[in-house]
Structure formats: structure tokens, C-alpha cells
Amino acid sequence: MHIVARARAFVQSLLAISRRSALERRRCDACGSTHVHKHGFRRRRPYTLEGRKDLPVQRYRCQTCGATHSDEHPDLPPGAHYARSVRRYAIDQWQHGGSSLRQVAEQVRSVIGHQERWSLWFPVLDAWGPEEKREKCRFAESTLCLWLDQAGLRAKKQVKGAYEGVGQSGLVGVDGLWARLRGGTVRVLLMVRDSVTGLLYPPVVVAGEEAAAAWERLFARAQRAGLSLEDLQAVVSDGAQGLLSHLRQGLPWVYQQRCVFHLWRNLGPELARQAARAAEGLEGEAARVVRGRVRGELTRLVHGVLDAADCEAGEQALARLREHPRGEGLWKALNGRLIEVLAHTLPGQEGVGRVSPEWMWRDLRQRLSRGRNHGDEERLERAGLVFTIYRNFTPAQVRQERTRHYRHPGQSALEVAGLDLEGCSYLDALEV
């Protein structure tokens, strides 16, 4: 069962609770007998989004086996001090709003306890009675941290088959995020992203990205989640040696597309070095003009290689780069990598991206830096799993921008992959 089906099943289970008939509520959970009598009430005082409420809960006793049970409510999990709506609100405020654990805790206390920031919203309104008589809400950061960790545990149990049958392009991008754990230990979070649909597959946490075994773990988990390695055609990456080794050994039919962003970052020092050498012996405005001219010439020549329409045009551009008096170093850096640089121009590879999914780390890095749920490897992995599910269910922005265009505005990665998400969200997939 893929992840959307599981989310729908969770929603249906809550609907089934709310639609239970009087006879179904009275049926004994232990033996199934209908010989059940009312057995008093138990009072619960949960926190809801409307504040704390007194809710009488009907209890029943089976005349056959003697077992007792209580009425269920879809918004009130058994034994919970906070309603399900409060839990969903808090997790979404942290996950989507980008706030810290402390800020979310303040927000929740303001909403359900009418304290702290509530007075900033309604400085004159005193509809809730004197402040000294109001019951203080004790919602803490640790509670939210626990909820996020529990969501990550559920996500980890649902990895197998999570994206089975979901549309795939065979073109993926991979990248790794370095994260510092509590105590100073450094680990890498590796992730796979479909270049066409934008679908993120479950990540793995490894000690480093230079070992082939680390990337083997990543693709094995992605395959377990539903990625077909047999249909994989091309991978765009920053050129990590561990990945290249794994592709040669385990996936020899897959093309490697080098990330243009990382290439430019690696070529930047050589460009600056050659521009500086060209201006040696000059000073002031003359040196600045020479540096700018040489840097511009080399930049245009490198662009000719990276932006070539095909490998033949790339070879010609590479030859022109070598002919430049200052282009020898840049030529050496690109020579022998033309297939990796222009893999996106090969037949059947037109949809592969030219940039690794570097941009997605911005949001995840922000959440890791603002949370405490990555104190060890397990919690870092759970945070990554929750993030992938959140991103897969979240639609792209609809607004039009001058400098940025969204290929699928208003659609999530799962919708682009061909699934219907009406009536469910990432919170349902996490069974929150």
C-alpha cells in the first residue's frame, strides 16, 4: 500500500469513528457481544483549539465478559491531554511555518490558553475572564519534540512500498546534507529526488559520502520504497567519488550528469587565478580592466562547453577553451568529463536536471537548526523522513515571478506523479 492509500485509510478510520451508530458504540471490543449496558461517565479535560474543555465520556460494561470501554472521538485520542487538532496544528506550524520549537510552543499556548501573544492580538478584549482565574497552559517544547519524533517513527515503519506504483521518470538527482549532532558528531543525510516529478525518496544517514556503501544503502532504501532501479537512466550529482564508484559497480547502465552549480563552484578559483595572473605588473584601473576582460573571456568559453547543444558542439567549445592563452587549467578540469557534463543532451535523457537538488536542503537545514529532534543518527533520520513526506504532499507555489517559474504550479510532487491527494495531507500520511 503506497503512502497516499495509507493516508486515505487513516482518514477513513477517523470518519468511521465519527459515524459509528449507537449499536456500534455499545458493541464490546473484547468479545463482540451486544449485551452492553451504560456504566457511568468519565470526565476528560483536554486542550482543544478553542481552549480547555470539560468533556463527559460515556462508559460501557459488557454483560457477557465484564470488560469496559468508552466512547471514542476522532479528535480525542485515548489518554491524550491535547486534542488531535492541537497536535496537527503544532506540527504544521513547525514544519510549514519554519518557526523554532520555542516559538511554536508560544504560539500554541497563545491559541489554546489565551496567554502570552494572545494579549498582543486582543489587547482590550477580556472575554475569557480575569487573567488570574484562567488556567495556564503548560504546553512545552519537549511535547512538540516528542510528537515530531513519534511521527518520524511512524514514517520509518511505512518506508516499504511507500511509493510503489507511483509514476517515475527514471531521471533522479542525489545530494547529501552535512549535519552536526549533539556532542559534535558529524553525519551526512543522503537523499534521492525524481528530476521530473520532484518526488523525494526516504533518506539515509551515513558517516560520509565518499564510500560506495553509503550510496548503496541510499538506493537500496529508495528501491524498498518503490524506486525501480532497472528503469533508472541518469543521475545528476556533485560528483562524489563514492557515488561514481557505486554507479560503476552496481548501476553501470546509468549515466552520470555532473551538477553545473558544483562545476562552476570548483572552477571559480581557477578563473580568479588566471585573471589575477593576466594583470600581474599592472596597477589600479588598468589591472581591473585586464582582470575583468580575461575573466569575461574565460567565462564565455566555459559557458560554451557547459551549455553546448550536444557532445560535438561541446568538443568544439572545449578546443576553443584550450586555445585561449589562459584556458589550459580550465581545459584540464573539463577534459575527459564531457559526457558527464552533457549527459542531459543524450537521447532519452532530455528530462534530467543540470543541477543537483541542492535547493531543497535550505528548508531542511532550517528545520534541523531550529529543532532538537536530531540529537543522534536515529532522530536525524526521522526528521529527514518527516521532511520528505511533507515535501511530497506540499504543492508548489502558484504565484508568478519574474525570475523564477514553477513547472507545476499548485501541484505537489505526488500529484505530478499521477496521484489524487484530495481529502488527505502529509499529516494524515504521518497518522497524526
pLDDT (0 to 100) of residue 130:
54
* pLDDT tens per residue across span 136-168: 888 999 999 999 999 999 999 999 999 998 988
Q: Which whole-number Å values give the CA distances from 1 to 8, 148, 243, 311, 380, in the listed order?
A: 11, 23, 30, 43, 25
Residue 37 in domain: yes
Which stretch of DSSP H or E encloses residue 24? helix 22-26
Is residue 119 included in any domain, yes or no? no
* Count of Cβ atoms closer than 10 Å to residue 151 Cβ: 26
Which is more confidently placed, 151 or 402?
151
Angle ∠(127,129,132) on CA atoms, nearest 5: 140
Residue 176 falls within a domain, yes or no?
no
Give domain status of residue 91, yes or no: no
DSSP string, 284-337: HHHHHHHHHHHHHHHHHHHHHHHT-SSHHHHHHHHHHHHHSTT-HHHHHHHTT-
Range of the domain at 35: 23-70
Per-residue pLDDT tens for 262-298? 888 888 898 999 889 888 888 889 999 999 999 999 9
177 inside domain: no
* pLDDT value of position 203: 94
Q: How many domains does the chain have?
A: 2
CA atoms within 13 A on the CB side of 191: 30
Say yes or no to pLDDT of 134 above 80: no
Which residue did the predictor score with more confidence, 103 or 369? Answer: 103
Instruction: Specify the pairing of strand 255-258 against strand 51-52.
Output: unpaired
In this prediction, residue 5 has a pLDDT band, given cuts at 50, 70 and 90, of: very high
Higher confidence at residue 352 or residue 211? 211
CA–CA gap between residue 71 and residue 294 (Å, rounded): 78
Instruction: Say if 386 falls within a structural domain.
Output: no
Q: How confident is the model at residue 404 (pLDDT cuts 50, 70, 90)?
A: low
Domain boundary among 310, 345, 380: 345
333 located within any domain: yes
Among 70, 99, 130, identify where a domain stops: 70
CB 353 within 8 A of CB 173: yes
Q: Burial, 229: exposed, middle or buried (Cβ in 10 Å; 0-12, 13-18, 19+)?
A: middle
pLDDT mean across residues, the chain: 86
| 130 domain-assigned | no
- Cross-sheet strand order for the sheet of 204-206: 204-206, 186-194, 171-180, 234-237, 255-258
Helix ranges (H only) for 226-283 are 241-250, 260-278
Read off the C-alpha cell for 428.
494524515
Question: Which stretch of 104-113, 272-281, 346-355, 408-417 has the lowest confidence by average pLDDT?
Answer: 346-355
Distance of alpha carbon 313 from alpha carbon 304, whole angstroms: 8
pLDDT tens readout for residues 371-399: 655 778 898 999 999 999 999 999 887 76
Which residue, 166, 167, 156, 164, is CA-closest to 388? 156
Angle at 199 between CA 196 and CA 202, to 5 degrees: 140
pLDDT-based confidence at residue 68 (cuts at 50, 70, 90) = confident
Judge whether residue 101 has pLDDT over 60. Answer: yes
Q: Considering the chain, what percentage of its residues have pLDDT values greater than 70?
A: 94
User: What's the pLDDT score for residue 301?
Assistant: 92
pLDDT beyond 60 at 329: yes
Cα separation, 101 vs 113, in Å, equals 17
Q: Is the pLDDT of residue 8 over 70?
A: yes
